[in-house]
Amino acid sequence: MRDNPPAMAENTELELLITVVVGADDERSARAACRGLVQRIGGRIVASGDCSDEEPGCWSVTISRACPESGQHVAGLSRAVRNFLRELGPDYARHRVSCEPPTAWTVVDHPDLVGDLVDGGERLLVEVWAGGSLLLGRSDADPDEPPEPVAPRISDFDEQGNPRPRLRLRVDVVTERRAGAEWPARAVASRLSPTATVLEYTVDPPLVQVAMDLGPALGDLAEIVLGAVTTLGGNGWSRLQVDEQRAVARWSVAPLPPSGVASIEVSAVDAEPDEPSAQKSTVDTAGRG
Domain boundary, last residue among 130, 150, 177 = 130
In angstroms, the Cα distances linking 169 to 55, 124, 133, 220, 261 are: 23, 24, 20, 17, 13
Lowest-confidence segment of 58-62, 73-77, 169-173, 276-280 by average pLDDT: 276-280
Could you give phi then psi for residue 97, rounded to 5 degrees? -105, 130
Does the residue 147 lie in any domain? no
Q: Do the Cβ atoms of 85 and 95 come closer than 8 Å?
A: yes
Is 187 found in the same domain as 270?
yes
Report the amino acid identity of residue 260.
G
Identify whether residues 181 and 109 lie together within a single domain: no
pLDDT in tens, 11-44: 457 888 898 999 999 989 999 999 999 999 999 9
The Cβ-side half-sphere exposure at 38, using a 13 Å CA radius, reads 19
What's the N-to-C CA distance of the chain in angstroms?
44
Higher pLDDT, 136 or 191: 191
Q: Is residue 171 part of a domain?
A: yes
CA atoms within 13 A on the CB side of 21: 21
Q: Quick count: other Cβ atoms within 10 Å of Cβ 274?
A: 6
In a domain, residue 67? The reply is yes
Last residue of a domain, one of 75, 106, 130: 130
Judge if 90 and 178 occupy the same domain.
Answer: no
Whether residue 236 lies inside any domain: the answer is yes
Residue 159: inside a domain, yes or no? no
Residues 179 and 71 in one domain: no
The total number of residues written for the chain in this structure? 289
Asked if the structure places residue 86 within a domain, the reply is yes
Q: Which domain-ending residue is among 130, 152, 176? A: 130
pLDDT of residue 53: 62
Same domain assignment for residues 193 and 90 = no
| Total of domains in the chain | 2
In a domain, 62, yes or no: yes
Of the listed ranges 120-124, 135-139, 166-170, 178-182, the one predicted with least confidence: 135-139
Mean pLDDT, the chain, as a whole number?
A: 78
**Is the pLDDT confidence value at 289 over 70?**
no
What b-and-e string marks burial along 147-165, b requiring 16 or more CB atoms within 10 Å of the CB? Answer: beeeeeeeeeeeeeeebbb
234 within domain boundaries: yes
Residues 178 and 109 in one domain: no
Whether 118 and 172 share a structural domain: no
Domain identity same for 125 and 172: no
Q: Which helix (H) or strand (E) holds 198?
A: strand 195-204
**Can you give the pLDDT at residue 116?**
94
Range of the domain at 199: 166-284
Residue range 185-240, pLDDT digits in tens: 877 887 788 778 889 999 999 999 999 999 999 999 999 999 999 888 877 899 99
Q: What is the pLDDT of residue 181?
A: 79
Same-domain pairing of 175 and 114: no
Per-residue pLDDT tens digits for 51-110: 766 667 888 888 988 887 766 567 888 899 999 999 999 999 888 888 766 678 888 988
